Amino acid sequence: MKAAFEPPLRVVLADDHPIFLIGLRAVLERDEHVRIVGEANSPQALNALLQHCACDVLVTDFMMPAEPQADGLRLIEHLRRHHPDLPIVVVTMLNNAGLFHSILALGVMGLLSKASLADELPQAIRQALSLAGQASGDGAHAQEPLSPRELEVIRLLAGGMTVGEIAAHLHRSKQTVSAQKVSAMRKLGLGNDAALFIYVQEHGLA
């Protein structure tokens, strides 16, 4: 009952490609629990917007090349320094494990591929808010333990195998493997495959 009376999540969008900005807006406008309160097409415009526009989550493109933030990491560093409590979800076309590590190390709460936005962006926004709340409440480590089979599945996923390949490798059904993946990600508080990959790498589970 309580959720029905919660105000919509206020989201700011940032991307230097007008077509993709339209795409971001189109994805989120389908969700009645999300309200877009501002848009920016450059680091400078984003910084100016955040000075006067209150929001719950920022969804930003990683690469918006413009001075003084000449690359994505510098932009995120600037945002974290000036808005330390703002949950940030980064979207990118890049697919580089080292870069993912660097982005998440800056305190970003969500990391998504632009190819999977339609399915994952609304969930990633909520996940970012949840993780931000855990961090502020110092409860981020109160996790349900993974079962041995769940741990096995996420290791193989992070190694690049698909659910179907894992099912064949472990002689389980695809439905079982998929359920174990979903359960493991729920327990770990991870909203997408990129976050799962980074978690496995950072915790030495690969």
Q: What would the pLDDT profile of 95-120 be if each residue is shown by its tens digit?
A: 776 777 788 778 888 888 777 677 67
84 Cβ partners below 8 Å, 6+ apart? 107
The pair of structure tokens assigned to 201 is 């790498």
pLDDT tens-place string over residues 21-77: 998 899 898 888 899 999 999 989 999 999 999 999 999 998 876 554 457 888 898
Is pLDDT above 80 for 20? yes
Nearest to 150 by CA among 205, 91, 86: 205
Torsion sign (Cα): 71, 72, 77, 83: positive
The answer regarding whether domain 148-188 maps to CATH 3.30.1370.100 reads: no
The arithmetic mean of pLDDT across residues 194-201, rounded, is: 73
Banded model confidence at residue 2, pLDDT cuts 50, 70, 90: very low
The arithmetic mean of pLDDT across residues 178-185, rounded, is: 86
Domain ranges of the chain: 2-136, 148-188
What's the topology of domain 2-136?
Rossmann fold (3.40.50)
Report the DSSP beta bridge partners of residue 92: 113
pTM attached to this predicted model: 0.67
66 Cβ partners below 8 Å, 6+ apart? 16, 42, 43, 44
pLDDT value, residue 50 = 95
The kind and range of the H/E element at 88 are strand 88-92
